[in-house]
Amino acid sequence: MTIIAKALDQIRRICGGLASRCRNIYYRGLGVEIEGYVWMRTVDIPRNYSQIFLAKGVALDEGVTLLAVGEPGGAKKIAIGENTYINRNTFIDASHQITIGRGVGIGPWCYITDHDHGTEPDTPILDQPLVSAPTVISDGVWLGAGCIVLKGVTIGKNTVVGAGSIVVRDLPPDIVAKGRPARAVRKR
């Protein structure tokens, strides 16, 4: 790497750090509860800012969306624990409560939700109320790229979920799971 390339890389890193700090200030000002410093690339938090908690050391990569919908309630609709990394273009969609533990790694293009729509036969889907249940991703979990985590599931501590899997039911701690739907394939 040439001296010029090294200098330009250093300038890029400084500018990226300053932009992240500005995003911290901006989202704090809107009401997101941020504990300490959170590394933030260009992310989208469109509304219900006060319903989101980010612990210190959280890292949100480019294109991450945190969407909290519905009326504000008691507990935060989205709570993300210390030192969790959420990779590019991941969408977290909460109407009730999504809790993500400490030290979690979430791959790119994941979708995590705590709700879906009712399915009554004589009412259009979009006219039906949301059906919600808390979703929990425990400490130390790793979700591979493109995972989908649906409402009401708990993924146990230190579990690894393979890329492209769909989690539709609880997964115990300390396993490797994969598939559509995700199933335990071995102990970790």
What digits encode the pLDDT tens for the residues 123-154? Answer: 998 889 889 999 999 999 999 999 999 999 99
CATH code of the domain containing 62: 2.160.10.10
pLDDT of 133: 96
Separation between Cα atoms, residue 15 and residue 115, nearest integer Å: 38
Query: Which H helix or E strand runs over 20?
Result: helix 3-30
Distance (Å) of CA 100 to CA 22, 67, 94, 140, 142: 24, 14, 12, 10, 11
For residue range 152-166, list pLDDT tens digits in order: 999 999 999 999 999
Q: Is 140 helix (H, G, I), strand (E, B) or coil?
A: coil
The model's pTM: 0.93
pLDDT at 53 exceeding the cut of 90: yes
Is 115 in the active site? yes
User: One of 76, 96, 115, 178 is an active-site residue; which one?
Assistant: 115
Domain housing 123: 3-187
Q: What is the mean pLDDT of the chain?
A: 95
Separation between Cα atoms, residue 141 and residue 120, nearest integer Å: 35
Separation between Cα atoms, residue 87 and residue 148, nearest integer Å: 14
Number of domains in the chain: 1
